[in-house]
């Protein structure tokens, strides 16, 4: 296309960018457990890049100064040995090439040899250099030795070894970090796993997803199933809607690995400070409960349900026993009242033990009559707090005893007692 032609002509070929994209293949090394050494080397190299860039600028400055000095003193030496039409000190570009060759300590003696010639027949002091008034192509032995010795010491023995020192230092740092319990790759893995559960990027997941999320993590942050009891013990804060923030989960699993150490306290402060700066929305969701409190509320609800179910079962048994006793005796004893005179409980027991009407039809008829009644005026609000409890048909059917159990007199006698 026209755009690619313009870029290739005036800038850089697009093919070069596609070749650079091949560097993304290095991400595969994160999935290979045996490539830990290669990952450490690459990490050390990435850490060294800023320092290497600074040293490269220093080396270029040194080469710039020495190239100007070489052009001033060795621009017209005789072209022999290592000095030719490409490697010489006539121009700035060719001088940089000569100094780069000297920096690698390869062939520097060939460049020095023409500069040591200072008399005939090795050189011609009266040689006419075209385009300039300078005569002669002899060198300066003293200046040449000082030039080459000083540059080799500065560039090859100092600056180049600084490259090696920087890489070795960062390699040691990378090895120390790789030996730690947690590294940067573990946190990147956490973020990638979180993105699979938090597709919309809200920074929250539901509490019911926490077990699957912690099981999906990789070691050492993984909390394998069954993990509900372990996650409850983490005492994670919950916001409205039983949702958990990613920062709370990250700190919890990190503390699971590091424990209550000074390193964990410092990491907690660092993570919280960085997260608040980049994600100010974390402060806008105040937690209303925790996982421990949430479990306590569930257990309390189960206890209340069990107690109410036992209470309802006792009422059903007492009323059913009374109905069976009255049905067997054929009459109700004087001064003896039914335990349940009205309400759904009494009506249901009556259908089960007295009437021949099907319970489902009776319930459907009751609901139909209730829905057809016009709504009455709202009753006045009581002065005390009333907690309404809905008694469903399933609860009554579950709580009511089988009518065949009440057929024997011994069961009736025990019920009245």
In residues, how long is the chain?
417
* pLDDT (tens digit per residue) in 151-190: 999 998 899 899 899 999 988 888 777 666 677 778 888 8
Rounded to 5 degrees, φ, ψ at 229 are -65, -40
> Which has more pLDDT, 271 or 95?
95
Q: What is the pLDDT of residue 65?
A: 94
Burial string for 176-197 (b: 16+ CB within 10 Å, else e) reads ebbeeebbeebeebbeebbeee
Residue 103 sits at the vertex; the CA angle it makes with 102 and 105, to the nearest 5 degrees, is 60
* pLDDT (tens digit per residue) in 200-217: 888 888 888 888 998 888
Asked whether the whole model's pTM tops 0.85, one would answer no
Give the SS3 label for residue 135: strand
- Average confidence (pLDDT) over 349-358: 57
416 has pLDDT over 50? no
Q: How far apart are CA 327 and CA 316, in angstroms?
A: 16
CA-nearest of 105, 135, 109, 107 to 123 is 135
Q: How far apart are CA 192 and CA 221, in angstroms?
A: 13
Residue 157: DSSP 8-state:
I
Return mean pLDDT, the chain: 74
Q: How far apart are CA 205 and CA 243, in angstroms?
A: 5
Cis peptide before 398 (omega within 30 of 0): no
What tokens appear for 57 in the block? Answer: 């600028």
Q: What is the pLDDT of residue 63?
A: 93
Question: Are 238 and 290 spatial neighbours (Cβ–Cβ below 8 Å)?
Answer: yes
Least confident of 74-83, 220-229, 280-289: 280-289
Domains, the chain, ranges and CATH?
1-31 (no CATH), 34-178 (1.10.287), 184-287 (1.10.238.10), 294-330+338-363+388-416 (no CATH)
- Average confidence (pLDDT) over 332-360: 59
Q: How far apart are CA 238 and CA 364, in angstroms?
A: 42
CA-nearest of 159, 172, 162 to 44 is 172
Nearby residues of 197 by Cβ (< 8 Å), 6 or more positions away: 205, 209, 212, 213, 216
> Which has more pLDDT, 115 or 180?
115
Q: What is the pLDDT of residue 320?
A: 75
Q: What percent of the chain has pLDDT over 90?
A: 10
Q: What is the pLDDT of residue 55?
A: 93
* pLDDT (tens digit per residue) in 221-250: 888 888 888 888 888 888 888 888 888 888
> Which has more pLDDT, 397 or 125?
125
Q: What is the pLDDT of residue 353?
A: 61
Question: Are 117 and 68 spatial neighbours (Cβ–Cβ below 8 Å)?
Answer: no
Residue 373: DSSP 8-state:
S
């Amino acid at each position: 296309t026209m755009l690619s032609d313009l870029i290739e002509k005036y800038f850089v070929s697009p093919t070069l960018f596609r070749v650079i994209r091949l560097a993304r293949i290095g991400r595969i090394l994160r999935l290979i457990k045996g490539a830990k050494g290669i990952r450490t080397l690459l990490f050390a190299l990435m850490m060294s890049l800023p320092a290497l860039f600074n040293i490269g600028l220093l080396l270029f400055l040194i080469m710039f100064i020495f190239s100007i000095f070489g052009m001033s003193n060795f621009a017209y030496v005789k072209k022999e040995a290592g000095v030719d039409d490409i490697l010489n000190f006539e121009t700035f570009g060719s001088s940089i090439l000569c100094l780069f060759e000297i920096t690698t300590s390869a062939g520097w003696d060939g460049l020095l040899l023409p500069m040591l010639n200072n008399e005939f027949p090795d050189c011609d002091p009266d040689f006419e250099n075209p385009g300039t008034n300078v005569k002669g192509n002899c060198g300066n032995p003293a200046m040449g030795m000082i030039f080459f010795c000083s540059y080799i010491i500065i560039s090859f023995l100092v600056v180049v070894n600084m490259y090696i020192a920087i890489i070795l230092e960062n390699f040691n740092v990378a090895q120390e970090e790789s030996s730690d319990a947690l590294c940067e790759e573990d946190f990147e893995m956490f973020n990638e796993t979180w993105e699979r559960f938090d597709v919309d990027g809200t920074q929250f997941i539901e509490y019911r997803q926490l077990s699957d999320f912690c099981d999906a993590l990789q070691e050492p942050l993984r909390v394998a199933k069954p993990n509900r009891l372990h996650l409850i013990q983490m005492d994670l804060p919950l916001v409205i809607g039983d949702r958990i923030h990613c920062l709370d989960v990250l700190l919890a699993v990190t503390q699971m690995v590091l424990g209550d150490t000074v390193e964990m306290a410092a990491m907690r402060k660092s993570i919280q400070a960085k997260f608040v700066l980049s994600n100010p929305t974390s402060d806008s969701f105040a937690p209303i409960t925790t996982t421990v409190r949430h479990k306590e509320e569930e257990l309390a609800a189960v206890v209340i349900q069990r107690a109410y179910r036992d209470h309802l079962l006792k009422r059903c048994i007492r009323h059913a026993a009374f109905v069976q006793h009255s049905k067997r005796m054929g009459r109700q004893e004087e001064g003896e009242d039914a335990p349940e005179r009205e309400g759904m409980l009494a009506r249901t027991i009556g259908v089960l033990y007295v009437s021949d009407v099907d319970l489902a039809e009776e319930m459907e008829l009751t609901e139909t009559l209730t829905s057809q009644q016009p709504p009455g005026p709202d009753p006045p609000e009581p002065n005390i707090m009333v907690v309404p409890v809905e008694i469903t048909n399933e609860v009554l059917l579950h709580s009511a005893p089988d009518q065949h159990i009440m057929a024997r007199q011994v069961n009736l006698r025990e019920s009245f007692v």
